[in-house]
A and B are shown apart, each in its own frame.
Chain A
Amino acid sequence: MGVATYKGPFGKAQAERLLWRAGFGARAGEAEALAKLGLKRAVRALTRPAAYQLVGPDPRDERNRPIAPVDAIGHDHLSWLDRMVRTNAPLVERMTLVWHDWFATSNQGVGSQRLMLDQIELFRLNALGSFKDILLGVTKDPAMLVWLNGNQNVRRRPNENYARELMELFTLGANRGAYTETDVREQARALTGWRGNVANRQSTAFTFEPARFDATSKTIFGKTGNFNWQDACQLCLDHKLHPSFFVTKLWSYFVPTKLDAATAKSLQELYASRRVRPVVEAILMHPALYDGPRMVTPPVVFNAGLLRMRGRYVDTSTWWTLGRQAGQQLFYPPDVGGWDDTRWLDTATFRGRWFIAALAQADGGMPSDSPRDPAKLVERALGFWGSPTITSTTQGLLRAFAAAQLKRKESPANVETALRRLVASSPDLHAV
């Protein structure tokens, strides 16, 4: 029995939802084109993209200078936002964001934008590939070694920070009986041996030194051997509770409703090879994604989406401060647990999203021939964003707003620009 597939109509609205969940919203005309492919080909267009390309002008700051991702504060955020906006493979960037949250590493503890960008590149290269490659890669990744003290984990007195999160957050999950406190300590010993550090934003080489490695016997999950860091990862990947942890966590990035037992079982079968793509494809074709409730868009996805809808590119450094205000500064997740994807919206983050919507349309200029017709003004304001699907409730209130402002003798052009702001900050685009 395979995974259930969505059988309902796959039109513009469904394609828009797919693009928000698996990418960063739709460029003008993109949802319509995707809908024409039908569900299966549409999903595959995302999961099996053409050779990676960035389309459009390079990112600039507000004075038209190139950005400096490695050196300037916040430009790390800008450079990744730019990729989200310009990529021809949105799911690759979206999965990279998933891995950034999954293996949440913060530059707060690393202190090197270079190492952070290198880690993200590891995720990007393996975005839809093998989870084993990702796990082995991140375990010896310099930013991760600094972040969870793997570089200070030496024989005799191990530092168990990485060992615990490897099992709890990355592969097995807490409260499931998957591992014991003894397993944490034994894993920590298996993970000894790495060195390297960052000082004043400059990193040394990160190397494995046999002299720092605890080359004695360890017992992990009831198996005994002289395990090393690769074994530590493999033991987790082979653990019988890993596949269920993996598919449940991955599901939660795309669908807000709970994963049912039958689907979980089928997804685990698709994950037998430890490859990511088949599982993502099945989730993106699942009925729950299309028939189920809306999902609040992460702030950086919301931001990139508005720019894609507009056909605008990164041309100001303000985005990174707004990302922070909206609750998501890339490379600075709140802690190793990542962002809470179920709690993006509160009164504080709403304010950041309000500014993002304001700035995303700020370069649009004053319309010159705005009609004195509320319905037409609303239609034009929607057209400004590539005509996204909006509820009739919101449309009705936008028309009422336009009518009231026109009655107060407000200029139609001002009303139209206000409507642009209101479209972008409507509940319809915060949750899709």
Chain B
Amino acid sequence: MSCNDCDRSDRFRRAAAAGNGLPAIEPGMPTPAGTGMTRRAFLSRSAGLALAVYGGNGLGSLALDDGIAQAAATAPADQRVLVSIFMNGGIDALSLLFPAGDPQYYTLRPNIAIAQNLGRAFPEDDRLRWHPSADGLATLHAEGKVSVIQAIGYDNSDKSHFTARHYYEVGQTDAHLRTGWLGRYLDRVGAPDNPVQGLTLDTTLHPALATAKVPVATLQGADQYNFAPTPGVPAHRLEASMLQMAANIGAAHKKSTDPGLRLAGQTAYDAHRLYYQLGAFRYGFKSPVSYPSSTDPFPRRLAGLAAMIAGGMPVRVVGLSMGRFDTHAGQPAAFNRDLGLASGSLLAFQRDLEARGIADRVLVHVWSEFGRRGAENASNGTDHGAAGIGFLIGSRVKGEQIGSFPGVSGGLDGQGNVRPSADFRAVYSAVLEQWLDIDAGEVIPGVQAFSRPALLK
């Protein structure tokens, strides 16, 4: 069951059943942001909405000096966006781009290897083929819009989900760092008052986007940030005023010396800003292409993201996650399903950006915390490995692989895991410098030693 979908339909059903319609904040809402909505239209609607909702309630308005609107108004129309997509659990690189030309692969995986004749060829390395469920990625690769990052990792990994994921999130092999690499980027270039600059489209904040200074936002989807009504919770007559007041109380605490009060205050304050700024998307949005139909929220989150970027939302970096790739047991079925959805959704997202004419502004970075063991285990699954696989996707990427596949015949380490051929910090440095236009050393100290691959055409 899709919880997002059911929340949404329930919300309308409930509102209708309540007999009193939607609360005062809702009527007169702008029509859903469609594909033709311009930045200017978006901005003026936001401002109009702010006045309609908050004008004259006697409380003063945070809306009128809103940082999000200001950031949108001042951001260049060609503001680049980085979308970071986490393939959760350690995706099996040896299935995704499988070494069909390496007999050792079939020895290591007698039960779960992909048959030699399946999937599409990978022209850059004739030992490899795309998994049959990765057709979307193969299509984009054939168009020169995918750079595969081969055998990405770091030396001496400990095979822990949490250690590896943390390193990838903070951009360093430092177990104690609390800010994410994208968060530190935002701390350097972001605005003090624009939460959507760092957008997590998930149930909770992605640690890669954790900042020390500037605000960031988390929401489950472009049209999922409603405050009233929600199924089972009656709306109050003063709903809009209360939300405003909660933000005012938050504002009074967001400079508190107590970190707990400070965080709670800042969050209440940011929530209010985010809520009204997303007004244009509250009842949905239109997409020029169709996305895979799924109970998983991933494709719809991407669709909403494309609409938000096209609508002029001042987004800089975005975090999403996808799938459950920790396939210790019964790998083939789960892997096919989740990879198929990921690949199809990424293809649809690229097509969506192209249709909206914003594909040149967006770079997608797909990553996972590690790859999996060369040999299968006894449960038709694979255990934690070392080096994995990643992708850079977009109209601007070079479309050439980074690093190289070391092979399973000679490329495995003493524990039977793939040796890294590309370091994640080198890729991050290249993304920071070549896409986000900032000296990587400002975000990830000590990365001078890593030689940067060329990412863009």
Contacts and interface: CB of A to CB of B under 8 A. Distances in A.
Q: Is the A/B pair a real complex?
A: yes
B236 A418 contact: yes
A415 B238 CA distance: 8
B225 A351 contact: yes
A351 B268 CA distance: 9
B92 interface: no
B218 A427 contact: no
A350 B261 contact: no
Interface in B300-346: 324, 326, 328-329
Contact of B232 (A294, A318, A347): A318
A404 B378 contact: no
Interface of A: 62, 108, 148-149, 152-154, 156-161, 164, 168-169, 174-175, 181, 184, 256, 293-296, 316-318, 321-322, 324-325, 327, 334-337, 340, 343, 345-351, 354-355, 358-359, 362, 391, 393-394, 397-398, 401, 404-405, 407-408, 410, 414-415, 417-418, 421-422, 425-428, 430-432
B230 interface: yes
A211 B378 CA distance: 15
B258 interface: yes
A222 to B, nearest CB: 19
Residue picked from A160, A184, A346, most chain B C-beta under 10 Å? A346
Given A393-B253, A421-B236, A350 B271 contact: yes
A-B complex: 10 closest residue pairs judged by Cβ atoms:
A431-B260, A318-B232, A294-B260, A427-B264, A157-B378, A152-B379, A430-B264, A348-B218, A346-B218, A346-B205
Contacts of B225: 347, 351
A318 B256 CA distance: 33
Contacts of A405: 58, 238, 241
13 contacts: A62-B232, A154-B378, A348-B203, A354-B243, A354-B271, A355-B230, A393-B249, A397-B245, A405-B238, A422-B245, A430-B260, A430-B267, A431-B258
Nearest to B244: A401
Interface in B151-210: 158-163, 175, 195, 200, 202-205, 207, 210
Nearest to A294: B260
B227 interface: yes
Contacts of A293: 258-260
B270 interface: yes
A431 B207 CA distance: 21
Interface residues of B, number: 73
A243 B359 CA distance: 54
Contacts of B252: 393-394, 397
A301 B237 CA distance: 28
Most buried by B among A149, A295, A398: A149
B58 A347 contact: no
Interface string B227-253: 110111110111001110110111011
Contacts of B324: 108
B258 A327 contact: no
Of A325, A343, A348, most B-chain CB atoms within 10 Å: A348
Contacts of A156: 378
B161 A335 contact: yes
Contact of B249 (A169, A295, A335, A426): A426
Contacts of A337: 161-162
A327 B204 contact: yes
A160 B383 contact: yes
Contact of A168 (B3, B160, B415): B160
B11 to A, nearest CB: 12
A334 B268 CA distance: 24
Nearest to A359: B233
B195 to A, nearest CB: 7
Contact of A318 (B175, B231, B238, B271): B231
Nearest to A162: B328
Given A174-B162, A346-B205, A318 B260 contact: no
Given A168-B160, A414-B237, A422-B245, A348 B260 contact: no
